[in-house]
Amino acid sequence: MDPDLPSAEPWKVISVIDSSRHPEHSNQHCVIVAFCQSTISWLLLSLTLLAVIGCNPSDSWQIIDARIESSEIADSDFQGILTLSFDRPMLLPAPSSSGLQFSHPDIVEGKYRIEEGERLNEWRIYLESGFSPLLTRGEGSNADLARLTVNLNQILPESEISQFKKKSSESIVINPSPVEPAQLIGARWVDTDGSSTVNQEDLLVLEWDKLVSTGVDIHQPGDTFLGPDDLIRLPVSGDRLGDQNFPARWIASNPSMQSSLILGASPMLTIDGVADPTRYKYEGSSSGVALTSTSILPSNELQTSRGAGVAAPYVVDLEGDCDPWSPVNLDSGVPPLEGSTLTPLAGGRFLLAGGRTLSPSGKSRVLGEAWILNPRGGHIGPIPMQHPRKGHTASILTGEDGITGTADDLVLLFGGWDGKQVRNDAEVFVQNSENSSFLPVAMSQPCTPRFEHSAHVIADENEIVLVGGRLEGELNGIIEVIILEDSISFEDGSIRAESYQAGELAYPRHQHASVLLADAEDPLLFIYGGYGGSLGAPYVKFTAEYCRVLSAPEAFRIRRGTRSLRRLRMSSDSDLPGPRRSLRMLPGIDSGLNESSALLVAGTRKPPTPDPFAPHQTSNCRTGFVLQLKDNGRGYLLLEWVPVGRLVQETLHPGIAPLPGGRVLIVGGRDNGGMDIKEASIFDPVTGLLERVCKSLDHEPWQNLLTQQASPTWGGAFILGVDTQSLRCQGILFEASR
């Protein structure tokens, strides 16, 4: 052995070359194997094998798969895509529109376009027209009767044809791709009437990932029909699209990515992810919709453009374009208060008067101050009051022009707890462009002390009727009337008024509800509920031994001519709503169609604690009622209680305010554990039902809000509350769309 050569090494395979993996040799197929004993011998051997063995043209090529996928887009420029897979790379220098032969009895002339696929061994044939028999519909098609042959002479240029020994393929069966059902990808509620509540004639819009038609073969687009009644599942407990008598109706449409339903009678939908603990068995978020249908079989009422059904393996969130709440920037000097009054003034402003301050340390004081709040900005205050007050009443009286809602209106505050004792005096807020102030009221004779009472104004007479209330250790059963003088003089810095006792309650009470209806010359006073008793009238000791939660309706005609009351008799079923305290009543809820009516909502059957500053507690009184009162003129009052549905939660002392269209907003309050409530409901006199506001207050920046009061304003309501975490006063505007 030549000593200059490298030492001998064992033989080993050092290279395997497959020309089919190189596109530049795609017409040849050979394998080169090189063995090596040294570096030089490897080079010599590789060159020798390549020269001796060479690469010969392939004897055969074949199609290993032909699969057709139908187009789901009705207005696209092709009916589907046919994908051919070869057993080797098949380069296509340019697109072609010939070279394919289809064997199918119904395909006479079809237009197509051949292009390169995503991989080297794929061609994609875009079927432009004439191939409907091959397209899959529903679970099957006639595509299994079709075969395909490829002729390279009509597809490749002559320079490329020579590389192939075989110019035409064997025929191959065309395999149809399975048709997938349309998947539900979105759902949203459309507030068609702008009411901020889910009600009849609103829309539920389902969004699909494929084109879906509803009733095209049976109904004209735009027509409504009942459709599949078992298709939609609402996972949130209590939600529904309608009732059995008036269910939701589908709206027929051409193939579209959306399907719409018109909601039926008394629908309920949980919008924007309000959690429900019963949803544990469904995938997805805490509110939404799912479909029961997962079948490929088409339906005459709901199907894709390819004849498949629809499916939703997951729960889809139900969204809604609804947020009627907007924050009001309040001055940082306005303290968090409890037991204050909020009274609307002219120009969209509000008078916030008195109340007890809330502080982290638990120390508090009753204020003798007031503020003028303007939701548009520019608050005024503090304005000194004559005395501190909590649990007092505020009544709006007309000024010199005799018209309410003008700048000369007066606001009379009466009674309340001043931190040491219960007051029996009054003061009047006088609006002045230079210096608004409170003036004392000089009474002809003193009134009885009271707080947590109710007060009503007799229209056009500047008379205030005081009903019920609480002394420190007793309940007040006296009904009194305060009359401001016709000619109000401010010269001596006070306002004169006359007062008299009109009568007594059979059941002295506080935390009750009462309404005054001006349905005749002698106004009708109606009282319901509260906490009190019948022993010891006109005063009852405020103890559990003498008091209970009442129903005990009472009704009077106020005889202004004789300054007395006429008690009206009622039937035995006049107490249908049952015992409850801390309830709310609002008169004239049907927009003046019947003045002798009222809405009763909220309340609790649980007795209060003796401490006037103790946290509120509640029990179950969710059902609301509309009260219709009919006086037969002979001392007998007929009561008709009509249930109007239930509040979302048991509620104590919610804010309540009339809205445009005769509707009534009920918002906030406390629940049965004394915690603040974030829900809101609207009573709609058109449907006669309590309807949940689409979006609750359980989100930024109101997730810690304790709603204290609500008052009507232009186009909605102004809501005042306290942030229970930061203990800051917060304001909210509810914007009513109708």
Q: What pLDDT, in 10s, does the model give residues 341-377?
A: 999 998 889 999 999 998 777 788 999 999 999 888 8
Report the sign of the C-alpha dihedral through residues 433, 434, 436, 441, in that order.
negative
What does the pLDDT read at residue 26? 41
Q: Report helix, strand and coil shares of the chain as percent, to nearest 5.
A: 5, 40, 55
| DSSP H or E run through 160 | helix 158-161
Neighbours of 483 (CB within 10 A): 18
Helix (H, G, I), strand (E, B) or coil at 40: helix
Q: How confident is the model at residue 331 (pLDDT cuts 50, 70, 90)?
A: confident
State residue 501 phi and psi, 5-degree precision: -90, 120
Residue 616 clears pLDDT 50, i.e. is over it: no
CB 450 within 8 A of CB 415: yes
Cβ burial of 445 (10 Å; 0-12, 13-18, 19+) is exposed
Please check the confidence at residue 673 and state whether its pLDDT lies above 90: no
Which residues fall within 8 angstroms of residue 561, CB to CB, at 6 or more apart? none
Task: Summarize the confidence of residues 587-615 as an average pLDDT.
Answer: 70
Q: What is the DSSP annotation of 452-499?
A: S-EEEEETTTTEEEEE--B-SSEEE-EEEEEEE-SS---TTS-EEEEE
Q: Is the pLDDT of residue 1 over 80?
A: no
pLDDT-derived band at 487, boundaries 50, 70, 90? low
pLDDT of residue 12: 47
Give the model confidence (pLDDT) of 58-67 as tens digits. Answer: 557 899 999 9
> DSSP class of residue 544?
T
Q: Listing from the earlier edge strand, what are the strands of the sheet with 172-173? A: 100-103, 147-150, 172-173
If you average pLDDT over residues 518-531, what whole number do you get? Answer: 91
When pLDDT is cut at 50, 70 and 90, the band that residue 140 belongs to is low
- Residue 116 CA to residue 275 CA, distance in Å, equals 51
Distance CA 156, CA 114 (A): 11
Query: CB atoms < 10 A from the CB of 506, how many?
Result: 15
Asked if residue 513 has pLDDT above 90, the reply is yes
Asked if residue 540 has pLDDT above 70, the reply is yes
The pLDDT of 479-488, averaged and rounded, is 84
Does pLDDT of 556 surpass 90? yes
With beta carbons less than 8 A apart as the criterion, state whether 547 and 579 touch. no
Residue 41: pLDDT over 70? no
Which amino acid, residue 649? Q
Q: Is the pLDDT of residue 107 over 60?
A: yes
Cα 598 to Cα 526, 629, 631, 716: the distances in Å are 10, 9, 15, 20
pLDDT per position as a tens digit, 413-441: 999 999 999 999 999 999 876 788 999 99
Q: What angle do CA 665, 670, 675 make, to 5 degrees?
A: 140
Secondary structure string (H, E, C) spanning 44-100: HHHHHHHHHHCCCECCCCCEEEEEEEECCCCCCCCCEEEEEEECCCCCCCCCECCCE
Could you identify the residue written with the tokens 């007060």? 455
Residue 4 has pLDDT above 80, yes or no: no
C-alpha to C-alpha distances, 468 to 91, 451, 635, 713, nearest whole angstrom: 96, 9, 22, 28
Has residue 593 got a pLDDT over 70?
no
| 3-class secondary structure, 410 | strand
Residues 160 and 92: their CA atoms lie apart, in Å, by 10
Question: In the predicted model, is pLDDT for residue 141 greater than 70?
Answer: no
Q: What are the phi and psi torsion angles at 392 (to 5°)?
A: -90, 180
What pLDDT is attached to residue 405? Answer: 77
- Tokens, residue 700: 């930024």
- pTM listed for this prediction: 0.76
3-state class of 346 per DSSP?
helix
pLDDT, tens digit, for every residue of 688-727? 888 889 888 887 888 888 888 999 988 899 999 998 888 8
Average pLDDT of the chain?
82
Beta strands in 348-444 (DSSP E): 350-353, 356-357, 369-373, 380-384, 393-397, 410-414, 426-430, 437-443
Q: Using CA atoms, how far apart are residues 350 and 720, in angstroms rounded to an integer?
A: 10
- Asked whether the predicted pLDDT for residue 27 surpasses 60, the reply is no
Neighbour tally for 417: CB within 10 Å: 26
* pLDDT score of 613 more than 70: no
Compute the average pLDDT of residues 561-567.
Answer: 90
pLDDT of amino acid 619: 44
Query: How does residue 78 score in pLDDT terms, banded at 50, 70 and 90?
Result: confident
- Cα separation, 174 vs 155, in Å, equals 20
Q: What is the pLDDT of residues 185-231, one digit of tens each?
A: 899 999 998 888 998 899 999 999 888 888 666 778 888 888 877 78
